[in-house]
A and B are shown apart, each in its own frame.
Chain A
Amino acid sequence: MDAVTYPSAQTETFLSSRFECVKVSVADKGPEARAAVRGYRHLWAPGFVVFSQRGEELRRFLGYQAPREFIAELTVALGKVRMLHRDPAGAFEAFREVADLEPPAPVTPEAIYWAGVAAYQRDGEDLDFLREYWDELRIRFPDSRWWVAADVY
């Protein structure tokens, strides 16, 4: 991450403008470092946890992330922050940004799932809207666990 992803201009601009960032070494036994990861430590590093401005945990992921995939993961997290703030239209924009990536990112099926949820909330909680958006999962990612999650509708 420190050799490739964080130094990239794309990642730098994205993080600097959208997140407050905390970096903690798992080898650091100091009280600040211990306090920072208490309750949030992964079984492996590198690990990532996204919190809302109010400290609610919204997303965890781990392992090396190339810049494009890292930004896609964090954009989905931003969408969830917007949903938490009752901004389904803003959330939908964030999720669609990832849903429309070509080629798709690993997190794209999840982004489509959440875009459907955001559209459902934005457009008056009509299940037809949800079905319309989630049908994209059936068409594009039928083997995705997110289509399995959506298939009930």
Chain B
Amino acid sequence: MPVWHSDLDAAKAAAQLTGRPILLYTWSPG
């Protein structure tokens, strides 16, 4: 499974390092 960040800022910081774009997935538990 891919590593899922729970924080958009953390994903942006990771994206700066890896050069990858960001996918934000919002889901509903119910």
Identity of the chain B residue whose Cβ is nearest the Cβ of A19 in the assembled complex: B23
User: A21 CB to closest chain B CB, in angstroms?
Assistant: 5
Contact B28 A25 (CB under 8 A): yes
**Inside 8 A of B5's CB, which chain A residues have their CB?**
20-23
**DSSP class of B's interface residues: helix, strand, loop or mixed?**
mixed
Contact B11 A58 (CB under 8 A): no
**Inside 8 A of B15's CB, which chain A residues have their CB?**
20, 51, 53, 55
B27 contacts which of A18, A32, A46 (Cβ < 8 Å)?
A46
Interface residue tally on A, bucketed by range: 35 or more
A-B contact count (CB 8 A): 126
Contact B26 A46 (CB under 8 A): yes
User: A66 CB to closest chain B CB, in angstroms?
Assistant: 15
- Chain A positions within 8 Å of B, measured between CB atoms, are 1-2, 6-7, 12, 15-16, 18-27, 32-33, 35-37, 40-42, 45-53, 55, 58, 74, 77-78, 81
Give 8 pairs: A residue, B residue, CB < 8 Å, sorted on A. A1-B25, A6-B1, A21-B23, A23-B27, A27-B30, A48-B25, A51-B12, A53-B21
- Chain B positions within 8 Å of A, measured between CB atoms, are 1-12, 14-16, 18-30
